[in-house]
Structure 1
Amino acid sequence: MTPVALVLIGRNEGDRLKRALDAAQGQASRIVYVDSGSTDDSVAAAHKAGAEVVELDMSVPFSAARARNAGFARLEQGDPPDLVQFIDGDCALVPGWIAAAQAHIETDSKLAVVTGWRSEVHRDASVYNQMCDHEWHRPAGPIIACGGDMLVRAEAFRQVGGFSNHVIAAEDDDFCLRLGLAGWRLERLPLEMTRHDAAMTRFGQWWQRAVRAGHGFAQVNGLHPGHFRSEIRRVLLFGLILPLLAIVGAAFSPWVLLMVLGLYAASYLRTVAGLRAENLPPPQARVHALFLTLSKFPNLLGMAKYQLNRVRNRTPEIIEYQ
């Protein structure tokens, strides 16, 4: 079968990067590590593991999209690959994933992306890790978009121009949507692909991640009208409209406040029911639903941040949570 190259991106990942490099040995024909201004020993660790290292220019804003593009550009030097596996520095490939994904993508010349399931290394270390683990497990089959861990046909990557450097969150959605518009297919296999280490133990980390998600909703929706439409509507309703209604209405009648609280309660219970339908245990479903309800407020901040940058014609800067 055709050799598969690997692009691994990261910044100050520490031991997580070392695990990622170790897991990639023997699965990829070439390994390119792209570093976004690390101040730890990430670059030295990558060199020691035998990876080709690309250090991004610190004078230009970092983004995962920019890092992935830089990694692909390095692979184009010499003998360009036909297939490229992208993963983040806080992820480690599951043994056998690349061989399985490669075998599947080669069955269909119009299949541009094959992805699988991420899972958390320390799922129960925090509710935030639990939420990530649940988020990663989406249904297998044809898809329109996926996360940044993916096996990509190089021909398709070149055709759409890779990732959009200026998209700082949900850049993988934008990339996948452009592939779909170009006539390519994408698919998720019902297989473990990577083990992820979110290392989220603090509320502030979760909040920043939700802010980043909101920015991604707004920016990608601006590029692909209709995408993230339902997410944006929920954020506007529960993060902005209902709170304003409660504040203004409470001055005239306590019934308005009670009505708003009732709508939040109904949304919460519906979310719990949805999570239970996805086989999440009842105690976890209740806690996850609480955070999902609360997430509309940091999501709104991220959406507002995007709109403010757009009005001011400013280049958005990466939003980090680790």
Structure 2
Amino acid sequence: MSTLKVACVIPTYNGRRDLERLLDSLDRQTAVFDTLVVDSSSSDGTFELAESRCPNVLRIDSRDFNHGGTRQMMVERHPEYDVYVFMTQDAYLEDPEALANIAWPFTDTRIGAVCGRQLAHLDASPLAEHARLFNYPPTSQVKSLEDAPRLGIKTAFASNSFCAYRREALMQVGGFPQHVILSEDMYVAAKMLMAGWKVAYEGSACCRHSHNYTLWEEFRRYFDIGVFHAREPWIRQTFGGAGGEGLRYVLSELKFLGAKRLSAWPGSFLRNAVKLFAYKLSQQERHLPRALKKRLGMYKRYWDSPYA
């Protein structure tokens, strides 16, 4: 960590309370780093809070925000860093060693990205809690392209809520893409793996982050995920599909709920069916009118962009 110059980059929009909690957790870190905030013209005091606590704050028009493009803009504006830790405003670091722990794997010069572990928020629903337990285990792992036959698409798993990138590797693969609706994190991780880099998952680097989505929000989220995969078929062609991961997830969720929460089982089945339907529907998005896709998806502004 001492030989690497690290920046923590946070895109924000109307999340003052969340940002305050995140900044408080950053203040407690033992690591040496700089904080960079890019705010999409918030109207709730988020920008003013960031300015009062961070020396590097950029304000952009909300219409100019792009999941990949805005992050890449920050990388290009600040070329002096070796590692960029990207976080979302609704996450916060679990302990004072979190940033140090997500940065230390970069001592291996073959590692291009490190994804941290996400723990559910303290007010998370049982289903939201299980999602974090299933997708973010405590065991660390280093993955390469050779792991694709065993791990499938999870080889390239990454999350923009708490993920770090080596500048050299990021720039080698062309940086974050502007044209994707979301999952710019998986896109970059996949490109790095294909270029010969390794991607790490660090179970000791922990943040709190989860969502208590409604059924409709789950549908919209998975519709957007499906759009991403439909438009980037090379990822599944290279790494394979989920390989039965969906069934394992459902069985794991039912086991987590257990006999004491049998009343939650119907909701579990319904929620997973909704996610599957949304994903399958969006695989055919090329045949759907843009106005309908805008209504069905979560990231509506994408459909007004030149990439839609």
The one-letter code of the counterpart of 1:104 is P
Q: Which residue of 2 aligns with 1:188?
A: 201
Query: Is 2:106 aligned against 1:105?
Result: yes
CA contact (8 A) 2:220 2:298 kept: no
Task: Give the SS at the match of 1:12.
Answer: coil
| Paired position in structure 2 for 1:70 | 73
Q: Structure 1 residues 28, 49: closer, same or farther in 2, change over 3 A? A: farther
Q: Secondary structure at 2:133's aligned position in 1?
A: helix
Correspondence for 1:169: 182
SS at match of 1:230: coil
Q: 29, 35, 50: which one pairs with 1:31?
A: 35
What is the distance in 1 between the residues matched to 2:238 and 2:40?
Answer: 29
Partner of 1:54: 58
CA deviation after TM superposition for structure 1 residue 102, in Å: 2.3
Structure 1 141/206 Cα, relative in aligned 2: closer, same or farther at 3 Å?
same
CA contact (8 A) 2:113 2:164 kept: yes
Distance 1:134 1:303, change over 3 A: farther
The CA deviation at 1:105 is 1.7
Measured after TM superposition, the shift of residue 47 of structure 1 is 0.6
The count of corresponding residues between Structure 1 and Structure 2 is 272
Structure with bigger gyration radius: 1
Distance 1:309 1:171 in 2: 24
* Cα pair 1:214 1:302 within 8 Å, conserved: yes
For residue 46 of structure 2, what is the aligned residue in structure 1?
42
CA distance in 1, matches of 2:286, 2:185: 17
Mapping 1:1-322, distance limit 5 Å? 1=2, 2-25=4-27, 26=29, 27-60=31-64, 62-76=65-79, 80-94=80-94, 95-106=96-107, 108-124=108-124, 126-127=125-126, 129-138=128-137, 140-143=140-143, 144-145=155-156, 146-148=158-160, 149-198=162-211, 200=212, 202-221=214-233, 223-226=234-237, 230=241, 272-275=250-253, 280-282=256-258, 283=261, 286=265, 287-305=267-285, 308=288, 319=299
Residues 12 and 42 of structure 1 are in contact (CA less than 8 Å); yes or no, is this contact kept in structure 2?
Answer: yes
The C-alpha deviation readout for 1:217-276, integer Å capped at 9, x for no partner, is: 22232x435268535x99xxxxxxxxxxxxxxxxxxxxxxxxxxxxxxxx97x7643446
Distance 2:26 2:140 in 1: 24
Write out per-residue CA displacement over residues 93-137 of structure 1, whole angstroms, 9 at most, x where no aligned residue: 23201212322321x11111122210121353x355335423541
- Kindly provide the CA deviation profile for residues 270-295 of structure 1, in whole angstroms up to 9, marking residues without a partner as x: 7643446xx62424883434421231
Question: Which AA in structure 1 matches 2:132?
Answer: D
Name the % identity.
Answer: 22
Q: Quick one: structure 1 residues 116 and 309, their matched pair in 2 at CA, closer, same or farther if it must change by over 3 Å? A: farther
In structure 2, how many angstroms separate the alpha carbons of the residues matched to 1:225 and 1:272?
Answer: 21
8 Å contact from structure 2 (residues 119, 208) kept in 1: yes
TM-score, normalised relative to structure 1:
0.73
Any idea what the Cα deviations from partners look like across 1:50-87, whole Å, max 9, x if unmatched? 24122234454x322122112212322xxx01111111
In structure 2, C-alpha distance between the alignment counterparts of 1:70 and 1:155, rounded to whole Å: 16
Say if 1:3 and 1:101 are closer, same or farther in 2 by CA, change over 3 A: same
Preserved contact between residue 7 and residue 86 of structure 1 (Cα < 8 Å)? yes
Q: Which runs of 4+ in 1 moved over 6 A?
A: none
CA contact (8 A) 1:3 1:29 kept: yes
Between the aligned partners of 2:141 and 2:250, the Cα distance in structure 1 is: 25
- C-alpha distance in 2, partners of 1:105/1:179? 14
Contact kept in structure 2, 1:4 and 1:30, CA below 8 Å: yes
Could you tell me which runs of 5 or more consecutive residues in structure 2 were left unpaired when the two chains were aligned.
144-154, 301-308
